[in-house]
Amino acid sequence: MKKIIYKDGKDIRIDQFISNNTLYSRSQASKLINKGLVKKNGSPVSRSSEKIIRNDEIKISELISNTSIRPIKLNLNIKYEDEDLIVLSKDEGIIVHPSETYNGPTLVSGIIEKYPEISDVGEAQRPGIVHRLDKETSGLMVIAKNPKSYNDLKLKFKNRKVTKEYIAIVNGPIKNKGIIEAPIGRHPTNKIKRALVENGKAAYTSYEKIGENNDISMVKVNILTGRTHQIRVHLSSIGCPVVGDNLYSKTENKIPRLFLHSIRIKFNHPSNNKEVEIQDNIPKEFLDLIELKEIDE
């Protein structure tokens, strides 16, 4: 149970207050409220839009899912490890953690099989997880090994203190470099998709072309924000969807995977504040697809 006294003088929505003062996102705050796990001055909060005022006392209970995580042996591709954290390269096609709609094998299943001590770090259904990649995206992820590093890294990602770089292969002609700054929100008719929406969350993506062959290009992509499907939505919005993206491409792809890979990550270490920078290799299937002998990295 977490207790917070609101000291500001300005009225604020309770879901926004929780997001601003805890490690929960605004959507997670709404889920806590809907489950009856948030109280204001001793009474359960019924709406995410409910306002709080100065000196209101907010109590938040942890959201515990009934879903159990089954340890499963996976071939984890560890790129860096110390007593506080792990950086690994996730394979394409693996879901990071279980959810209310999926309870099959996940990356978390493999992590707790190899590191059972991580089971109690962070949220119950996503132990050690401080950020995530889509199921279809491969590449580097940071995993926290203890509560101190979990809290520190979670805040770094939330406050945009982590450099995240991706490699993508895209369809169509693309400029040598560019910046896409357009808000992203839920798609108006498809609950799985995201879209550019006027009242969406701010999203910033920059890209640089590093190779091309016929009608496809390899680009290096950096994101300042981390919205759901951000790179896929932004690149599709300029007419250059990621190869293999059946969700955001106008034409159906028969290519068996999404060609998006988290290739570099940089942050300050939670214990000593020294810079940690991990670089992954460009996957072989990316090089095979574009058939380039030299890549300008």
Residue carrying structure tokens 């609950």: 191
Buried b (16+ CB within 10 A) or exposed e, 15-54: bebbbeebbbebebbbbbbeeebbbbeeeebeebeeebee
The CA-to-CA distance between both ends of the chain, in Å, stands at 48
**Selected catalytic residue, list 134, 245, 288, 296:** 134
Q: What is the torsional sign of CA 24, 30, 35, 40?
A: positive
The answer to whether the beta carbons of residues 12 and 21 sit under 8 Å apart is: no
Helix axes of 14-21 and 26-34: crossing angle, nearest 10 degrees? 120
> How many Cβ atoms from other residues are within 10 Å of residue 5's Cβ?
9
Q: What is the DSSP letter of 251?
A: S
Residue 280 is a catalytic residue:
no
Active site amino acids: 134
